[in-house]
Structure 1
Amino acid sequence: MAPPSSSLSTPKPKKRRIKNPSNIPILSSIEPPPTLLPSKADLLRAVAVLSVAISVAIGCNLVVKLFNRQPKPFCNSNHDDEFDYHLSDGCDPCPSHGICNEGKLECMSGYVRHGRSCLEDGDINEMAKNLAKMVESHACESYSQYLCKGVGKVWVQGDELWNNMDENNTTYLYAKEKAVEIVGNLLETRDTSVGIKKLKCPDLLVEHYKPLSCSIRLWLLEHAVFLVPVCALLIGCGLMLQKIRRRQYLSVRSEELYEQVCEMLEENALTSRSVDGEGEPWIVASWLRDHILTPKERRDPLLWKKVEDLVQEDSRLDRYPKILKGDPKVVWEWQVEGSLRSAGKKKKGEINKQKMRENPNLGFNQDHGRLKLGEPFKC
């Protein structure tokens, strides 16, 4: 079969071109204005404001729920059922020193409620301490008087102390109960056959209540066995040391006085020979003693006795009695011809000779019957 004729075929439509007039803009070249969309800074600011608003809303919601929430009731402190209220989420456990009933809390005597707990009452605690201190002072002072003066009691009846403090005050009674507990731990206690409790101050505590004089006296009595021999030993050592020092003093001082005696006798002997025989070469021992000794040394007879012993042992000195104005006297005289002393002593003797020449009244005066010494020998 021959193909159909071309005259019978439908003609194809022709494409129609749309002309773009110059006054109409092209769509692809159209851009939005810059103020149409927000900037990055505005976007961040909007996010921050939104976050703050959400936080405030959440916080207000929590606060409202917190204030509107009712606290849990307390679990009963006295329950006999097997259910453990302490593990229940419907109630809180009853705090220490508290009494819980029907969900309510009441604190025991001596405790005050603080929030959902019971704390110790400070006033009652202070009152209990004061009561315990009064009982302690009474018991310890009584025991102290017994130790120091022999009066008072060692064991004090507790009823006598507590009965004086009885008051019809619930707070005071609770403070008294606590004070009894404190005193029981502080003082020694014992029960009598009739069930009366007695109190005694411990030995270490009673030391703080003794007077100082009493403590010293008791300490001396307690250590007398040891102190007596020690004191005797110390006294003996002290006396021995004093005796040694006195012996040394007498030895040194007597030698000094002996040297002075020799110098005076020698000078007097040299001076008497230079005054045409009118002077006497001797000196009365008692007058010489009163001249060279101080008033305090004159009251010590042993010192001058030491000087006399040294003079007696010296062969250069002569001792003999002599009657002066009807009284027997002992005189001392230098027997060596010339001076055996040092050069300085010789010079001193020459000076004394010169004084004797200038004053012929020195030496022994026959008319007056007494010994006249120069100024160094005057009393």
Structure 2
Amino acid sequence: MSSIPKKRPKPNAKPPSSSSSSSTSSLSSLMEPPQSFFPSTNEFLRLVAVLAIAIIVALGCNLLATTFNRQPKPFCDSGDIDSPDAMSDFCEPCPSNGECYQGKLECMRGYTQHGKFCVEDGDINETAKKLSEWVEIHLCEAYAQFLCDGIGTVWVREDDVWKELDGHELMKNGGLDSATYIYAKQRAMDAVGRLLETRTNPRGIKELKCPDLLVERYKPFPCRIRQWLTEHALIIFPVCVLLLGCTILLKKVRRRQYLSSRAEELYHQVCEILEENALTSNSINGEREPWVVASRLRDHLILPRERKDPVLWKKVEELVQEDSRVDRYPKLVKGESKVVWEWQVEGSLSSSRLRKKVEASKLKSAEGMGISSDQQRNALKAGEPLSY
């Protein structure tokens, strides 16, 4: 039998020695940084804030330096509009109402420079507006006076207007120099030329006239009424005549109604007076005349303001004349011939009523007399004196 070889036992591993462990720890301490090398969280945030502030300050200083040290762009020349540089970033386009040359802007007269633009001068604009209004009022009032009264001018020469503007108060008190005022005056005349009518006379001089639509605003109110009446006379005259005729006719109708009603009222009063007078004269045995003078009766019944109108009493006389109960005849009264009226008592239907009234009045008077006589007797018995 073959013999089995025996394995050799492995030698036991020896534990590391203390020298090797100490060398390893010293090596790791050299490779790792100390704990105080890295900042804390608060220190890190402070560092970030300081850096941010520094960056902002740097950017602000750079922006200010760029702004103050930056040169403005020159203006593109007015005559180089077709050139490619006119629309480039190297120059500013020349604004309207301005002229640009060699990069500089010069605004036209009447405009002032504000930055990159030419703005209209307010003083010149206001002066030109006032001058144009003055010219408009002056020409339109003259034309309106010509249309209303036939006095004034219609067409005015432009040279005359220009001379009148030279003496305007704005020339002295406007605060503008001579050149600026001339420019404002020119602008005013341009505005007036667009507003008013213009023509050139045979001498080649330009003339101005207020338009017909505009002159209506400057006509006085009485002139407007007069012209309106003149234009519509063919309509107004027949209407006025018709209204006048209707008014007169209405007044006549009302007057006729008044005269008729008033005459009837007076007629009834005349009849009552005549009838009462006739009955009274018969009852006192002829001591009183049965007739009444017509003129005295008229003056007794008619009011003073009605005596001026003879038509009213004529109507009363017509009514009396138509009445068969009244006789009308002339009679000599105190040496003068008068027309008297007399009531015919016989056959009168209303005489019985009046008789009763007369008798009642007589009874009342008799009773009064009886009472007075009794009082006198009693007074005599008592020895009292009578009072007259």
Question: Which TM-score bucket, shorter chain as reference?
Answer: 0.7 to 0.9
Preserved CA contact (<8 Å) 2:279 2:355? no
- Within 2, Cα distance between the matches of 1:5 and 1:11? 15
- Deviation, 1:45, is 10
Paired residues in the alignment total: 338
* Aligned mate of 1:271, from 270, 274, 280: 280
* Aligned mate of 1:211, from 199, 220, 225: 220
Structure 2 unmatched runs, 5+: 19-34, 172-176, 368-388
Does residue 159 (structure 1) correspond to residue 159 (structure 2)? The answer is yes
Q: Which residue of 2 aligns with 1:247?
A: 256
Note closer, same or farther for the CA distance 1:321–1:46 as it changes in structure 2 (3 Å cut).
farther
Does residue 77 (structure 1) correspond to residue 52 (structure 2)? The answer is no
- Deviation, 1:304, is 0.5
Deviations 1:6-33 (A, max 9, x none): 37x543224789xxxxxxxxxxxxxx9x
Q: Which residue of 1 aligns with 2:187?
A: 178
Does residue 98 (structure 1) correspond to residue 98 (structure 2)? The answer is yes
Moved more, 332-341 or 309-318: 332-341
Preserved CA contact (<8 Å) 1:274 1:353? no
Note closer, same or farther for the CA distance 1:80–1:125 as it changes in structure 2 (3 Å cut).
closer
Moved more, 162-171 or 144-153: 162-171
Note closer, same or farther for the CA distance 1:153–1:353 as it changes in structure 2 (3 Å cut).
farther
Specify the code of the residue in structure 1 equivalent to 2:331. K
- Deviation, 1:52, is 7.8
Note closer, same or farther for the CA distance 1:211–1:354 as it changes in structure 2 (3 Å cut).
farther
Moved more, 51-60 or 134-143: 51-60
Q: Which residue of 2 aligns with 1:6?
A: 8
- Deviation, 1:274, is 2.5
Preserved CA contact (<8 Å) 1:95 1:118? yes
Note closer, same or farther for the CA distance 1:101–1:326 as it changes in structure 2 (3 Å cut).
same
- Deviation, 1:289, is 0.5
Specify the code of the residue in structure 1 equivalent to 2:273. M
* Aligned mate of 1:187, from 175, 188, 196: 196
SS of 1:164's partner is helix
Deviations 1:327-377 (A, max 9, x none): 11111122134874599977765676579989xxxxxxxxxxxxxxxxxxx
* Aligned mate of 1:296, from 294, 305, 309: 305
Q: Which residue of 1 aligns with 2:372?
A: none
Note closer, same or farther for the CA distance 1:342–1:207 as it changes in structure 2 (3 Å cut).
farther
Structure 1 unmatched runs, 5+: 18-31, 359-379
Deviations 1:98-134 (A, max 9, x none): 1122222221111112222111111111111222122
- Within 2, Cα distance between the matches of 1:16 and 1:147? 139
Moved more, 286-295 or 133-142: 133-142
Specify the code of the residue in structure 2 equivalent to 1:282. W
Using structure 2 for the length normalisation, give the TM-score: 0.74
Q: Which residue of 2 aligns with 1:125?
A: 125
SS of 1:154's partner is coil
Sequence identity (%): 59
Using structure 1 for the length normalisation, give the TM-score: 0.76
Q: Which residue of 2 aligns with 1:113?
A: 113
Preserved CA contact (<8 Å) 2:85 2:91? no
Does residue 258 (structure 1) correspond to residue 267 (structure 2)? The answer is yes
